[in-house]
Structure 1
Amino acid sequence: MTHSASVKQATYHLYTFTISKLISTFGSSVYTFGISLYVLALTGSAASFAVNLICSILPRSLMAPFAGYVADKYPKKATIIVSQLAGVLAVSGLLAYSLFQGLSLVAIYAATVLISLSTMFTSVTFSSAIANLIDPDRIQKAMGFNQSAISIATIGGPVIGGMLFGFVSMNVFLMIQIAAGLLAVLLESTMNFKLFTNRAAETVGETKGSVLAGMKEGFVYLKSNRVIMTIVTAAIGLNFFFSALMIGLPFVAVQRLKIEATHFGFIEAMIAVGMLLASIYFSVRKELKYPLLSSKRGVLVMSAILAGMGLPLVMELSYWANVAVLLALMLGFGISNVFVNTPIGVLMQKDIDEEYRGRVFGILESMAMAMMPLGYLLFGLLYDLLPAQYVIWGSSLCLFLLIAYMIRPSVLKEAYPELAGDMPEKPVLQKQ
């Protein structure tokens, strides 16, 4: 295939991938919103809701390394289509059960586990395949488009779900998820996942040794690459302290500041709005020269925003001033979140060897997801035992120190050797 033909097909992939992500995420967002409210309405129990959340998180954290192995060892297109169809079948099974028996908690929990697994295989494989679908010069644009699609769906899904809930049965929510999954599969079946590859066709599907040995190779490769290992380790810490905001935001806003539910909904929505704005920015600007440095700055901004969430607790502000402060903070948090994730995503797509890309993304997802339940539990307890502002400021300080140490000047110079000649030895790199 000529270079111009490859670029043309990559352009097709860019838009098809974005539309597919928008449709599938929208369907999942509507379904998740509906099923969450249904569980709460059915049981009136927060514990039942928490069990459904665990059924979503736990399988992903346990099976993500295996999903990465599958993504590396088997054709990516087949893996994505099969995993998407598995999710459609799981929801279809729940729909059939609902029509004949009526929905039950056990059926919902079982479907949640299966949907979580199928989504995880799709997500890890797609993450490892972006560099195979898009030419290197437009990977940042692809990441920006991808995040834009997710943000739009995250904003629109609950809105549509809220309009439908109470007026239609849960079967309609299930059918929306099924239709979205089938449309996504149809689009993905037209894509060439071997457009940009350095691997010989015959090496895909080769299984040298056991599955465990193949998964171990991914860990060994990760440990041998100091920069990528630093990114993965920092991401684990970031997800852990991210829990302080996710648990703290509703606690501070609703419990301490007595903000109304309607206004709190707008505050939460500002995170997705900020992510959408930043994603659009990355989709049109030229690629960052030093993505790791940019991500470090983004995390430092996030730590400052987290600290700012404690200010309304110690300042005498009016109700509307508190709402305005939290709206601005969450908008900034959404923007800085993309400024962290998109440059890192581009760096990982380009710097990780293709034959290990799936396993590295699988390990990253597994470790990051595993920290979320621990973070929710720990910070939930801390907010009950200590003044909220101390928990927030302590988390902000820990996040600042963690990132300042993990992505220190020596790591940045290893990632970008040219910085060593441009920068003095002593001053901090943020001044560049």
Structure 2
Amino acid sequence: MAMQRRATFHLYTFLVSKTCSTLGSNVYTFGMSMFILAMTGSAFSFAANLIFSIIPRTLLSPVAGILVDRVSKKFIVLTGQFGTILSISALLIYMMFFDISLLAIYLTTFFYTISSTFTTIAFSASIGNLVDSERIQKAMSFNQLSLSIAGILGPMIGGMLFGFVSIQTFLVINIVAYSIAFVLESTMNFKLFSNQESTPKESMIQSLKSGIHYIKEMPVLKNLLFLMLWLNLFFSSITVGANFIFVQIIEMDYKLIGIVEAASAIGMLVISLYFAVRSNLQYPLLFSKRAILTLSTIVGTFAFPLFVPMTSTIVFIYYLMVMFCFGGTLVATNTPIGILIQKDVDENYRGRIYGIIEMCAMGLTPIGTLLFGLLYDVIPAQLILLTCSILLILTTLFLMPRRIIESAYPDLKSPERKEINPTSPPFSS
């Protein structure tokens, strides 16, 4: 009973600390981006700051994953969080004695990203240690909930702070947010539900190789990682294409674009709450596959107003609905995958798995952004979107065939189950 109460405490402490740190990250990213643009007026300077946030995360994610499996997870979480506080504090101190410079901002972003990479991966790998298996779905939904709240409030708070307070005050508020998260995380027992055996004495390279070997021995996990790799590439067509369509093709008002983009975060929030209150998924992988197929179809629906003439009001309402569904379906895709990893991946390998996932996701983001940035200049947007939609559906069906799903859930082959449940609607499990 004491462990159950502790798990419940972890659940809500996790939600508050994750929301504080994620909100702080979104506010910092938004505020620094606006500050760089206001200071330099250069899109290149703005892009350079993004590069300093992508490269360290891409290169260090596998290293962070290895360390998470070898060292105390709580130590890594708290050290990474302290590093984040220290990075922003160093920029604040620098500004108190010298004029702000781009180099100082770039260095802060670089070290800030390194620290947050270790914290994020360690925290993700620790969820199964903080709560029991019955609460994992709720914990994963709370994780998505914190991202949704930060996605909605981050730009709003960042915009208000940027407009009404000095950059020094802005940094102090960020430091306070991360400090609250640090204090809350220090109260958590990261070994409450741990069954990790002693880590074998092996080099970093050997540890990485054993993690890759572990993935190869699990067909479901191997196919899932490949699928996520391709998903991140093709979904760049929306990251780049949505704003291109809104601004260049249909010339939507900038205020309306902000509302449409916020609809995605609201969709994420709604579906996160749904996962928090519903019963545990019986077949997370099957649920996620159906969500990915739905998400792939939604990619194609972005092209519909480019084929059919509509009034500006109808176009606005249409994209509002599409972005809401897109954000919600993203959560419906990610949450079951997170549940699967927490429950089915051995604790000794969980850090390395998350590190590899993070590397794949971040590594293809700049490639996809560059690729589709070039394609949208020479190929009609509707053709790109429809092609990506079809390729996403075919990739999902190829990498997640029925036999892979059944290997994860053998009872799906049971004739009794088919007789009781002859049809199942999308997103049922």
Aligned counterpart, 1:153 = 150
Aligned counterpart, 2:86 = 89
Give the whole-Å Cα distance in 2 for the aligned partners of 1:429 and 1:104.
58
Secondary structure, counterpart of 1:199 in structure 2:
coil
Deviation by residue 1:223-270 (Cα, 9 ceiling, x = unmatched): 111111111111111111111001000000111001011000011111
1:209 aligned onto 2:202: yes
Instruction: Supply the AA of the counterpart residue of 1:180.
Output: A
Secondary structure, counterpart of 1:185 in structure 2:
helix
Instruction: Supply the AA of the counterpart residue of 2:386.
Output: W
- For residue 8 of structure 2, the aligned residue among 2, 7, 11 is 11
Superposed, which structure 2 residues align to 1:208-357 within 5 Å? Answer: 208-357=201-350
Aligned counterpart, 1:409 = 402
Deviation at 1:327, TM superposition (A): 0.4
Give the whole-Å Cα distance in 1 for the aligned partners of 2:324 and 2:362.
24
1:180 aligned onto 2:177: yes
Instruction: Supply the AA of the counterpart residue of 2:318.
Output: V
Give the whole-Å Cα distance in 2 for the aligned partners of 1:269 and 1:12.
31
1:239–1:428: structure 2 CA closer, same or farther, 3 Å change rule? farther
Deviation at 1:42, TM superposition (A): 1.4
Q: Identity percentage over the alignment?
A: 46
Deviation at 1:207, TM superposition (A): 5.5
- For residue 194 of structure 1, the aligned residue among 191, 194, 202 is 191
Deviation at 1:130, TM superposition (A): 0.2
1:79 aligned onto 2:70: no
- For residue 23 of structure 1, the aligned residue among 20, 23, 40 is 20
Deviation by residue 1:200-224 (Cα, 9 ceiling, x = unmatched): 4xx2xx4612111112211111111
Instruction: Supply the AA of the counterpart residue of 1:173.
Output: F
Give the whole-Å Cα distance in 2 for the aligned partners of 1:6 and 1:74.
23
Aligned counterpart, 1:163 = 160
Deviation at 1:199, TM superposition (A): 2.0
Secondary structure, counterpart of 2:201 in structure 1:
coil
Deviation at 1:365, TM superposition (A): 0.6
Deviation by residue 1:119-163 (Cα, 9 ceiling, x = unmatched): 111110011100000010110011111211221122111111111
Deviation at 1:12, TM superposition (A): 0.3
Secondary structure, counterpart of 1:183 in structure 2:
helix
- Structure 2's unaligned 5+ residue stretches are none
Q: In 2, are the aligned partners of 1:244 and 1:395 still within 8 Å (CA)? A: yes
Secondary structure, counterpart of 2:306 in structure 1:
helix
Deviation at 1:428, TM superposition (A): 11
Give the whole-Å Cα distance in 2 for the aligned partners of 1:49 and 1:229.
36
1:387 aligned onto 2:380: yes
Deviation by residue 1:324-374 (Cα, 9 ceiling, x = unmatched): 111000000011001100011001100000100000110111111101000
Give the whole-Å Cα distance in 2 for the aligned partners of 1:59 and 1:429.
44
1:373 aligned onto 2:366: yes
Give the whole-Å Cα distance in 1 for the aligned partners of 2:171 and 2:20.
14
- TM score, norm. by length of structure 2: 0.96
Deviation by residue 1:258-288 (Cα, 9 ceiling, x = unmatched): 1011000011111110000000000000111
Moved more, 158-167 or 83-92: 158-167
1:234–1:416: structure 2 CA closer, same or farther, 3 Å change rule? same
- TM score, norm. by length of structure 1: 0.95
Give the whole-Å Cα distance in 2 for the aligned partners of 1:33 and 1:9.
35
- Structure 1's unaligned 5+ residue stretches are none
Deviation at 1:429, TM superposition (A): 9.2
Deviation at 1:95, TM superposition (A): 0.9
Deviation at 1:62, TM superposition (A): 0.6
Give the whole-Å Cα distance in 2 for the aligned partners of 1:319 and 1:313.
12
Deviation by residue 1:171-214 (Cα, 9 ceiling, x = unmatched): 122112111111111000000000001124xx2xx461211111
Give the whole-Å Cα distance in 2 for the aligned partners of 1:396 and 1:21.
33
Give the whole-Å Cα distance in 1 for the aligned partners of 2:289 and 2:107.
39
Q: In 2, are the aligned partners of 1:297 and 1:430 still within 8 Å (CA)? A: no
Count of aligned pairs: 423
Instruction: Supply the AA of the counterpart residue of 1:343.
Output: P
Over aligned residue pairs, what C-alpha RMSD do you find?
A: 1.6
Q: In 2, are the aligned partners of 1:306 and 1:396 still within 8 Å (CA)? A: yes
Give the whole-Å Cα distance in 2 for the aligned partners of 1:102 and 1:156.
30
Deviation by residue 1:303-336 (Cα, 9 ceiling, x = unmatched): 1111111111111101111111110000000110
Give the whole-Å Cα distance in 1 for the aligned partners of 2:64 and 2:301.
38
